[in-house]
Chain A
C-alpha cells in the first residue's frame, strides 16, 4: 500500500527546499479495520482505511450507504454503534493515539477536541428540553460554563495581565453590552461622527457585536480596525465575561439563528429542519473543537436550505479555524466543499486525493462510475438505450449550452397531444386550532403530453405531492378540474374509476414502505392483475416474469420477500408492479430520492428506457433539480402551492425566469463545477487555501 502512495507522489520533488515546513497532521488514520459482530460472525465494515487531515482543512469522505464512511468517522470520535470494534490500525489525533483509549479519556476529547454534527436533525434533539438547555448541556459537559470562565478570569488576574491574550475566553455579556455601545458612541462622537452616519454606524456595531460570541480580543481588534480612540480600554472595560445564557445565545447566533436569545427558549418542535440543524451545529461547535465531523448534515434538508447551511458552516469554521471532516454520499457536494477527497467503497478507501483532481481524472472503476452518474454533474437528459447508452464522462456542456438532443426533444414535444390537463387545481386543508385554512395547492394548471415527462419541482411544503395525489385520484381537490385523455377524471364512477386506475399508476418515494412486507414479490406483482381480474394463474405468472425482466431483475426474485431486497431493488419491483396493467401514465412521487446515487441513476435510466419502449407518460415529482435535468422534458416549479415557473427543461436551466428557480439551480451541489477533463477551464490551484 505504501508503494501505491509513493507511486503517485512526484509532487514533493517539485517543492523547492526553501518552502516552509510541512505542518503536522491533525488526524492520521492508518490501516484502520473496524468489525461489527453479528449473530453469524463478524462483518468487516472498514478495511485498511487511510486518511490524513491537516489543521484548518476540510476533507470529505464520499461513498454510498454501507461503504464505511460514517463508521470511519465514528471510529475517530470513538462512537462506534453497537457491536462495532476497531480491530486493527491506528488513529492519531494531534499526535495522540486514540485506539485503545479508555472511555473517560475519550469523553474528555469529545466536544472540546472533536465535535460531531449528526445526520438527522429530527431525532437528534431531545423534544422535551428547550434548545437553549441542550446547547448549555454541551457547554457544561466541556466545563465551559460560567464557572470555568470565572476561574479563567481569576487566573488571568493572578498572572496580572493587562492586555488580553488572543485565545482568551472572555465573551461579551448581555449586561455590559449597552455600556460598551455607549462608550463606542462617545468615542465616535468625539472623533466628529454625527447625525445619520453615527446612527448607521452604531446600528452596525449593535448588530455585529454578538453577545456571547465575540471575545475581548475580537472586540479590541475590531475597535482598533475601526480606528476608535481608546479601543484598548473600551474592550478591557466592558468585555468582562458572559453568563451561560449569553454564551448559548452567542453560539446560536454563530450557527445562523437570528433572534437567538428568544429562540433558545423554544422547543425543538417549534423549529424547522434547517433551524434544528443549525442548533446541532451550535452544539457541535460549543466546545470549540479542533475537528468537526459533519455526518451527512444536510441530506434531510431542502436544497436551498442545504446550501445556506453549508455556506454558513464553511464561513464559520474558517473563521474559527476549525478543521472539518465532511461525510457525504454526494460527490458534487464533497468536491465543492472539500479540498481533499476520500472515496470509500465496501469498507475500503478506493481512491483519495485533491478534490478537483479526482473529479477530473477518476481512476478507480468505482470512482469513474460515481463521477459518471452523479446527478449534479450530469447536465443532460439520459439518452435511452434504444438510441444510445448513457454516455459516461461526457464533457459537461454547461448550463447554457443547448444540446442536439434537446433541440430534437423540443421539436418532438410539439407533436404530442396532452394526456393530462390540470386546470385551476386547488386544495385546502383545515388545520386544527387555526381558523386560517392551509392552501396546499393554489390554482395550479399544467398539461402533460403523451409520451413525455413533466417534472413537478419544489421544496417540502410546496404542494407538489398533493398535486400528485389529486392526479392519482387519491385525494379530492377543493376546486379545479383534471382531464384525463379528454375526460373529466373527477367525475368518474366506480367502474370507470377502476379503469382509470389501470391507466394511471403511482411509484412512491419510500422503497421500504410501498411493498407489503407479508407479500412475496410474486404476490406483489400479480396483485394488480388479481384486483382487475386479468388473466389466469399461468398467464399471470408469465406476466410477472416479464415484468421482472423489464426492470432487470432475475426471475429468482419472484420467490423473495421485500425485506430481502435493497432499496433500489424494491423500487424496481414497485415500478414493475405499476407496469403490470400496461398503464399509460406513471406518477413518480420522489421515486428516486431515497436511493444512493448510482442506484438512482440506474433507476432513472430504467424509467427512460421504459418510456422509450412503451411510450409512457411520466409525472415526475421531485425536490431535486439535478434529477430533473436527467429525465424531464418539461418542468413546473412550485413554491408555496403555486406555480412559479413552467417551461421546457432546457429553457428552465438555460434561462430561469424567476429568482426562486435560479436559487434552486444554484443550490445544486457541485453544479458550478466543471468536470470530465476535456479542457474544462478550471483552476486547480483554487482548491487549497
Chain B
C-alpha cells in the first residue's frame, strides 16, 4: 500500500496506522431524527418539572392562590367577628391558632389575609410588567434620543426607594379605602427594575443577526420589535416579574404595618403583624402566624423565580 513513499526516518510508534475496524463514517452533517423536536419553552418546561425547587414552590403557590380565592374552604369563622372575652385565649377546638388581643380568630385572619397580599402582589406585578416592559422595550429597541430620555426618567424613579416613595404618596392621599391605592403607589415606584431589564434584553436581541436578517427580508421595525425582539426578551422579563412579586407583597405588608397601607377594614398580614406587636412578649404566636404566612408566600415566589431562571438561562441550555 503505502511503503514506497515512506520516509526512512519513521520512528517506532509513528508508523502509518489506519483504523480499519471503524471505517464507517456518517453522512456529512446529517440531521439527528432520534429525539422529538423541542422549542426553547418546551425544553424549559422539561427541566423545570424535574426541579424539586420548582415543585415545592409551585405546590405552595397553588395552595396560596386557592386560599386567596376561596378562603371559606378553610375556615367558617368570620375574621372580623371579634369577641373581647376571647382575647388572648390559647388554641382550642375550631380555633387552632387561638385569638388575638381583640378576640379575633387568628387562623381565620391568616386565611383571609392571603387575598389582600396576593391581590396586591399579582396586580402590581402585572401593571409593572406592562409599564416597565413598554418603556424598556421602546428605549432598548429604538435607542437614540428616546432611549436617553426614557433612561433618565427611569433613573429618576429608580433613585426613589420603593417603600419611601409609597409612604409619601399614601400619606398624601389618605382618603381612599381600597387596595387599589396601594397597588398604584407600588407600581408607580416599582416599574424601574422591570424597565431596565426589558431594555437590556431587547437591546441584546435587537443587535442579533436574526433581526438584521429579518430587516433584509423587508420586515418593519415594529414587526421586528413585536415578533422577534420581545419574544426573545421574555425570559428575563418573566424571571424578574416572579421574583419582584414577592418584594411587592413584602412592601405591601410593610406599608400596612406602618398603618398607611391597606385600611383596617381589609384583613391583611401586615396589619395583623402590626397589631400583634404589643403581644410579642406575652403571646409571640399571635405575631408568628401572619408573619409566617407572609414569609412562606414571599419565599415561594422567590424560589419559583429562581427555578424559572435556571430553566430559562441560556448558558445552561446548550447543544
Contact of A223 with B by CB under 8 A: no
Query: Which of chain B's residues have a CB closer than 8 A to the CB of A564?
Result: 32, 35, 37-38, 319
Task: State the majority secondary structure of interface residues on A.
Answer: mixed
- Closest Cβ of chain B to A195, distance in Å, is 49
Contact of A623 with B by CB under 8 A: no
Residue of A with least CB distance to B15: A9
Stretch of B214-222, B278-286, B293-301 on the interface side: B214-222
- Closest Cβ of chain B to A617, distance in Å, is 16
Contact of A54 with B by CB under 8 A: yes
Q: Which of A52, A563, A602 has the most chain B CB atoms inside 10 A of its CB?
A: A563
User: B216's contact among A472, A513, A518, by CB below 8 Å, is which?
Assistant: A472
> Quick one: which of B206-257 are within 8 Å of A by CB?
208-210, 212-219, 223, 228, 231-232
Contact of A532 with B by CB under 8 A: yes
- Closest Cβ of chain A to B124, distance in Å, is 28
> Quick one: which of B26-44 are within 8 Å of A by CB?
26, 28-29, 31-33, 35, 37-40, 43
Query: Which of chain B's residues have a CB closer than 8 A to the CB of A23?
Result: 11
Q: What does the 1/0 interface line of B106-120 toward A look like (CB < 8 Å)?
A: 000000000000000
B8 close to A8 (CB less than 8 A)? no
Task: State the majority secondary structure of interface residues on B.
Answer: loop
B11 close to A569 (CB less than 8 A)? no
B15 close to A569 (CB less than 8 A)? no
B14 close to A52 (CB less than 8 A)? yes
> Quick one: which of B1-51 are within 8 Å of A by CB?
1-3, 5-26, 28-29, 31-33, 35, 37-40, 43
User: B14's contact among A1, A353, A527, A566, by CB below 8 Å, is which?
Assistant: A353
Contact of B152 with A by CB under 8 A: no
Contact of B174 with A by CB under 8 A: no
User: A557's contact among B18, B31, B39, by CB below 8 Å, is which?
Assistant: B31
How many chain B residues sit at the interface, stated as a range, is 35 or more
- Closest Cβ of chain B to A359, distance in Å, is 11
User: How far, in whole Å, are A5 and B11 apart by their CA atoms in the complex?
Assistant: 12
Query: Which of chain A's residues have a CB closer than 8 A to the CB of B26?
Result: 346
B216 close to A352 (CB less than 8 A)? no
Residue of B with least CB distance to A353: B16
Contact A502/B3 with A11-B15, A353-B16 known, Cβ cut-off 8 Å: no
User: How far, in whole Å, are A515 and B211 apart by their CA atoms in the complex?
Assistant: 9
User: How far, in whole Å, are A566 and B32 apart by their CA atoms in the complex?
Assistant: 10
Residue of B with least CB distance to A677: B5
Query: Which of chain A's residues have a CB closer than 8 A to the CB of B28?
Result: 369, 568, 598-599, 602
User: How far, in whole Å, are A356 and B16 apart by their CA atoms in the complex?
Assistant: 11
Query: Which of chain A's residues have a CB closer than 8 A to the CB of B223?
Result: 531
User: A514's contact among B33, B210, B218, by CB below 8 Å, is which?
Assistant: B210
User: B217's contact among A4, A52, A527, A561, by CB below 8 Å, is which?
Assistant: A527
Q: What does the 1/0 interface line of A587-622 toward B look like (CB < 8 Å)?
A: 000000000001100100000000000000000000
Query: Which of chain A's residues have a CB closer than 8 A to the CB of B219?
Result: 527, 531
Contact of A271 with B by CB under 8 A: no
> Quick one: which of A493-541 are within 8 Å of B by CB?
497-498, 501-502, 504-506, 508-510, 513-518, 520, 527-528, 531-532
- Closest Cβ of chain B to A168, distance in Å, is 31
B6 close to A357 (CB less than 8 A)? yes
A560 close to B6 (CB less than 8 A)? no
Query: Which of chain B's residues have a CB closer than 8 A to the CB of A513?
Result: 208-210
User: How far, in whole Å, are A569 and B23 apart by their CA atoms in the complex?
Assistant: 24
A577 close to B213 (CB less than 8 A)? yes
A54 close to B210 (CB less than 8 A)? no
Contact A369/B25 with A8-B16, A363-B1, A531-B217 known, Cβ cut-off 8 Å: yes
B213 close to A518 (CB less than 8 A)? no
Contact A8/B14 with A474-B215, A577-B213 known, Cβ cut-off 8 Å: no
Stretch of A231-239, A634-642, A644-652, A680-688 on the interface side: A680-688
- Closest Cβ of chain A to B109, distance in Å, is 45
Contact of A157 with B by CB under 8 A: no
User: B13's contact among A25, A346, A574, A581, by CB below 8 Å, is which?
Assistant: A25
Contact A354/B29 with A348-B22, A474-B215 known, Cβ cut-off 8 Å: no
User: How far, in whole Å, are A22 and B266 apart by their CA atoms in the complex?
Assistant: 93
> Quick one: which of A1-49 are within 8 Å of B by CB?
1, 4-5, 8-12, 14-15, 22-23, 25, 28
Residue of A with least CB distance to B42: A561
Query: Which of chain A's residues have a CB closer than 8 A to the CB of B210?
Result: 513-516
B216 close to A474 (CB less than 8 A)? yes
B31 close to A501 (CB less than 8 A)? no
User: B7's contact among A22, A559, A684, by CB below 8 Å, is which?
Assistant: A684
User: How far, in whole Å, are A553 and B33 apart by their CA atoms in the complex?
Assistant: 11
User: B29's contact among A52, A54, A498, A568, by CB below 8 Å, is which?
Assistant: A568
Residue of A with least CB distance to B43: A563
B213 close to A514 (CB less than 8 A)? yes
When A and B form their complex, which 3 residue pairs have the shortest distance between CB atoms, in order from nearest?
A52-B13, A353-B16, A513-B209
18 additional A-B residue pairs with CB within 8 Å, beyond A9-B15, A23-B11, A516-B232: A5-B17, A25-B13, A28-B13, A52-B13, A54-B11, A353-B2, A354-B7, A366-B25, A508-B213, A513-B209, A518-B39, A520-B37, A531-B223, A563-B319, A566-B29, A577-B217, A602-B28, A687-B7
Q: Which residues of A contact B (CB under 8 A)?
A: 1, 4-5, 8-12, 14-15, 22-23, 25, 28, 50, 52, 54, 340, 345-346, 348-354, 356-358, 360-361, 363-366, 369, 472, 474, 497-498, 501-502, 504-506, 508-510, 513-518, 520, 527-528, 531-532, 553-554, 556-557, 559-561, 563-566, 568-569, 574, 577, 581, 598-599, 602, 684-685, 687-688
Pairs across A and B, CB under 8 Å, 16 listed: A5-B17, A9-B15, A10-B3, A54-B14, A357-B6, A502-B218, A505-B217, A531-B218, A563-B318, A564-B32, A564-B35, A564-B319, A568-B29, A581-B217, A684-B5, A684-B6
